[in-house]
A = this chain, B = another copy of it.
């Protein structure tokens, strides 16, 4: 019998399908991108091919935009949003619009031509995480922006580009995105009723039942969520309550680097290097000031959502916001627990 499951935060229902179920190893399909690679503009020595860096980890004696760096952040060469200009909210008849003001940055995670973050060292991943945090803190100073979304598109089916050099992206927006608002609202409703953080409750229950736990290490837990939308979807949560990703100390980021390395390696080895996206879910900027409720520090809990892209989202999902997942998260988690990372 298929099951309908409800996400406890945003109330999204998911069908965990059994009739169309596949075994975990049947998802093992290599993404078929065989297009020849062009010279990489993100490798060490090609600094002139990107816009000037806005952030870098490099020795003090090396000049900006020259070799010697370990990690680099550059504005996107084809930004979705433009950093220049004033916000100009306006109407057009009944419609609302504003200028596409925002920031769009590429975080180049290594000077080596390595495609998958899973193949970076855990220390290098920790540097990337520190960079995320630093960029968010920097962009928060810009009063025009309300949110910074950090995400990764790896592989063609996940929207990744043909240039196979490991990087992530940051987009800062002048509005709080709809999905984030839903999460904030959902977790506040839970908090108002229970006076507990819904994510803390999820962590407690998951650790107690163990079925959906992929990894429990050094203060972080990686689970396949109860109402997973995708096969092998994984959320990584800090066990210690915190609403804001930028509040992690260096010890914590180091541990998270280790956890990310293991989880991404399990996906790579167990599922034949699948395409994936991940997104950091964290609190919006200046939450005290822009009208967010006073309890947000208590009721929201930052986390990372990792979505392998092994199935295609079709008309039913688009039309209804109702996902069909052909593998139960219990089976997915069990399979991934068994993969040596």
Q: Which residues of A contact B (CB under 8 A)?
A: 1-6, 8, 10-13, 15-20, 78-82, 85, 92-100, 147, 149, 151-153, 156-160, 169, 171, 173-175, 177-180, 182, 198, 201-202, 205, 209, 226-227, 277-281, 305, 307, 312-316, 318-322, 324
Contacts and interface: CB of A to CB of B under 8 A. Distances in A.
Q: How many copies, total?
A: 2
Contacts of A100: 1-4, 15-18
Contact of A315 (B1, B12, B279, B322): B279
B94 A202 contact: yes
B82 A2 contact: yes
Contact of A174 (B4, B79, B158, B175): B4
A8 B95 contact: yes
Nearest to A182: B321
Contact of A1 (B15, B78, B85, B169): B85
B178 A320 contact: yes
A180 B78 contact: no
Contacts of A152: 315
A169 B316 CA distance: 9
A151 B2 contact: no
A97 B3 contact: yes
Given A2-B81, A80-B20, A96-B8, A153 B13 contact: no
B178 A314 contact: no
Contact of A4 (B169, B175, B321): B175
B81 A11 contact: no
B319 A305 contact: yes
A80 B198 contact: no
Contacts of A205: 93-95
16 contacts: A1-B82, A2-B79, A3-B97, A4-B98, A4-B99, A8-B94, A8-B96, A10-B178, A19-B82, A95-B205, A149-B316, A178-B320, A178-B322, A278-B315, A281-B319, A307-B315
